[in-house]
Amino acid sequence: MPTSVIGVKAIVVGASSGIGREITRQIADGGGLVVAIARRGDRLEELAALYPGRIFPMVQDVTDHDSIPNKFIEATDKLTGLNLFVYASGVMPEVGPQEFNIEKDQQMIDVNISGAVAWINQAALRMQGTKHGSIVAIGSVAGERGRWEQPVYNASKTFLHAYMEAVRNRVSRYGVHVVTIKPGPVQTEMTERLKLKNAMSAEAAAEKILGLRNRTGEHYLKFTHLIAFAIIRNIPSFLFRRLKI
């Protein structure tokens, strides 16, 4: 059964597709309010039209860090309060097995790391003052090890996990929940070019994430991942290299 989202006043960054869109839709569907942020304003408007008065679209490119403090104030004013912040923006361009490409790498660093930090800093600053609320960031099981296929994507998620842990260690003492989600494969635009096995739907992922929003800590979306990644994290590096996973 879906978790109740009545009374939720949220900002979702990365709301135009995939997991972020579905989190936005489920909050609005359940009676909450959301400021939905991404670059593709047409997508946001389409979604907002389905839930009049519940979704407020806001166009922002997370790589434009200077605009974030004002956008944050604008968003909280629309909601007259804020009790949930979700950072779901992310990019994972295709990277060939022998490719090392700083342009693609920089894009991932700008969106998955710098954009996340710039937005989450604002949420943490506000919530440590108001002494309530939840900050949720979408990491990945990909951040658990340095896997050969996507060096910078993996490293960007490792960064996000460590940054979120540090934010948690700062602001949970003020009653703020700081939640890192580590999904496995989810069917979205990001992964449509991949042949994913056992991928979760964006709907199911969003429902689980909303259910975990007040559970401070790190969470996988499947119980089997808890066990599998406890093992994978502890495989010695020389062996991990040979496994090519």
Ligand X SMILES: NC(=O)c1ccc[n+]([C@@H]2O[C@H](COP(=O)([O-])OP(=O)(O)OC[C@H]3O[C@@H](n4cnc5c(N)ncnc54)[C@H](OP(=O)(O)O)[C@@H]3O)[C@@H](O)[C@H]2O)c1
| Interacting residues with ligand X (CB under 6 A) | 14-20, 38-40, 43, 61-63, 88-92, 111, 138, 140, 183, 185-186, 188-191
> Cβ-closest residue to ligand X?
18
Q: How many residues does the structure list for the chain?
A: 245
The closest of 208, 218, 207 to 167, measured between CA atoms, is: 218
Taking the least distance from each CB to ligand X, the nearer of 54 and 157 is 157
Position 15, amino acid: A
Minimum CB separation from ligand X for residue 242, in Å? Answer: 25
Q: How far is the CB of 220 from ligand X (least distance, A)?
A: 10
**Residue 96 beta carbon to ligand X: minimum distance, rounded to whole angstroms:** 19
Least Cβ distance, residue 55 to ligand X (angstroms): 14
Q: How far is the CB of 2 from ligand X (least distance, A)?
A: 19
Shorter beta-carbon distance to ligand X: residue 15 or 178: 15
Nearer to ligand X, 91 or 130 (CB): 91
- Which is nearer to ligand X, 17 or 172 (by Cβ)? 17
Nearer to ligand X, 14 or 32 (CB): 14
Q: How far is CA 217 from CA 44, 143, 161, 165, in A?
A: 30, 16, 10, 8
